[in-house]
């Protein structure tokens, strides 16, 4: 029987962890009904008050859970510690999730099943992620609406944006580099899987990085322009630094994992001239912001700046954005209704 370890890296999360952990427990219970399941929370570089709140939530869990506290701050290090715990405890599947997101019902179970299906059908230990959708509440600010364009359901999910949902076999999970380099954890993991399955991709055109239908994660975007730009500079720095961690493959990785969001007019036909002009304006503004962030990130990397720790988007943490029941579109059997796009194995 397969054993699934859910790893949750978390930092300075005392004020919101209990609420987001309840969201995760809904997913963990579904896994625990079918697989031996353990939640490993890794609290890094945080205060004693944060530790007390996180510990209280973990100890109240009705799914087996344990807390690891490390004095060093850094998500990469926390993930490495969590994966090491999975190995030590004899778990064969690891699912890394962020500490501040919500899920369409069944997301983690869908991911584990997709992972097992790849091994059964293709004889590969691939990587499974989730569709990321930005949550916008009533009265969302203009910058929130711009930021959310990248994650609208009509848009093609970026191939590397596996973000806070990484599921694979423990033996296949790569050791992440030190946090001081600023390398994004999800970008590095995707790059490592590209390197591992490069020959398979060249011969078949398929890379086993999968975003299965119905697997969806909901998250908040930064509230104001300055914070959003800082957040995006950090993200893009992490992606670019991740490319450079594989110098012999950098150009291949840049060509494959393109940061490309586009407006698909075929799926949303024009409704009026005014609406078209408004949409065009929104997309031009978004692309300008994206290009600006890319340019700043590249300049910092080329200048030898090590990471951009000042850019954490604090306003994304712990905000109200709905519940498991309210966010998902119920489908047959309680699962999320199919998204507009078909499930895919990442390929050109």
- pLDDT at residue 118, rounded to an integer: 96
pTM: 0.85
Percent of the chain with pLDDT over 70: 80
Q: Is 99 exposed, middle or buried (0-12, 13-18, 19+ CB in 10 A)?
A: buried
Q: Which residues contact 324 (CB under 8 A, 6 or more apart)?
A: 23, 26, 102, 103, 105
Angle between helices 75-88 and 185-196 (to 10 degrees): 60
Transcribe 23-73 into DSSP letters: HHHHHHHHHHTTSEEEEEEEEES--HHHHHHHHHHHHT-SS-EEEEEESS-
The Cα 194–Cα 5 span in angstroms is 24
Q: How buried is 19 (Cβ within 10 angstroms: 0-12 exposed, 13-18 middle, 19+ buried)?
A: middle
327, 321 in Cβ contact below 8 A?
yes
155 or 119, which is more confident: 119
Q: What is the mean pLDDT of residues 246-275?
A: 65
pLDDT for 152: 60
Are 324 and 266 spatial neighbours (Cβ–Cβ below 8 Å)?
no
Contact (Cβ atoms closer than 8 angstroms) between residue 129 and residue 165? yes
Joined tokens for residue 70: 């490390």
Cβ–Cβ < 8 Å for 245, 191: yes
Q: What is the pLDDT of residue 246?
A: 96
Average pLDDT value for residue range 153-163: 56
pLDDT tens digits, one per residue of 173-195: 999 999 989 999 999 999 999 99
**333: how many CB neighbours lie within 10 A of its CB?**
7
pLDDT band for position 138 (cuts 50, 70, 90) = low
User: What radius of gyration, in Å, describes the C-alpha atoms of the chain?
Assistant: 19
Query: Residue 5: which of 68, 69, 81, 93 has the closest Cα?
Result: 93
**Mean of the per-residue pLDDT values of the chain:** 82
Q: What is the DSSP letter of 200?
A: H
Report the largest interatomic distance among the alpha carbons of the chain, rounded to a whole angstrom: 61
Tens digit of each residue's pLDDT (9 = 90 or more) over 44-93: 999 999 999 999 999 999 999 999 999 999 999 999 999 999 999 999 99
Quick one: average pLDDT of 131-144? 76
Question: CA 284, CA 116: separation in Å to the nearest integer?
Answer: 41
Q: Give the per-residue pLDDT at 159.
A: 57
């Amino acid at each position: 029987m397969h054993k699934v370890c859910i790893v949750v890296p978390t930092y300075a999360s005392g004020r919101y962890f209990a609420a987001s952990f309840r969201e995760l427990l809904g997913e963990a219970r579904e896994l625990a009904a079918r697989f031996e399941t353990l939640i490993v929370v890794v609290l890094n570089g945080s205060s004693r008050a944060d530790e007390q709140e996180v510990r209280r939530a973990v100890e109240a869990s009705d799914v087996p859970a344990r807390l690891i506290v490390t004095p060093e701050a850094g998500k990469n290090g926390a993930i490495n510690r969590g994966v090491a715990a999975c190995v030590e405890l004899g778990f064969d599947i690891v699912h890394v999730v962020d500490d501040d997101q919500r899920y369409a019902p069944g997301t983690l179970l869908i991911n584990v099943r997709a992972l097992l299906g790849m091994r059964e059908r293709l004889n590969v230990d691939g990587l499974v992620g989730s569709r990321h959708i930005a949550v916008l509440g009533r009265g969302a600010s203009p910058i929130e609406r711009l930021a959310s364009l990248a994650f609208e359901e009509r848009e093609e999910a970026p191939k590397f944006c596996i973000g806070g949902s990484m599921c694979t076999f423990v033996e296949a999970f790569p050791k992440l580099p030190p946090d001081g380099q600023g390398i994004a954890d999800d970008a590095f993991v995707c790059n490592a899987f590209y390197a591992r399955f490069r020959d398979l991709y060249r011969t078949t055109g398929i890379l086993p990085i999968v975003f299965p239908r119905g697997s969806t994660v909901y998250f908040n975007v930064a509230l104001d322009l300055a914070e959003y730009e800082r957040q995006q500079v950090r993200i893009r720095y992490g992606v670019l630094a991740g490319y450079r961690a594989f110098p012999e493959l950098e150009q291949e990785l840049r060509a494959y994992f393109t940061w490309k969001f586009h407006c698909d007019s075929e799926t949303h036909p024009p409704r009026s001239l005014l609406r078209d002009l408004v949409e065009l304006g929104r997309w031009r503004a978004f692309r300008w912001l994206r290009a600006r962030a890319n340019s700043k990130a590249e300049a910092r990397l080329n200048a030898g700046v090590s990471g951009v720790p000042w850019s954490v988007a604090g306003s994304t943490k712990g905000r109200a954005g709905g519940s498991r029941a309210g966010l998902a579109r119920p489908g047959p059997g309680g699962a999320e209704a199919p998204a507009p796009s078909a499930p895919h194995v990442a390929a050109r």
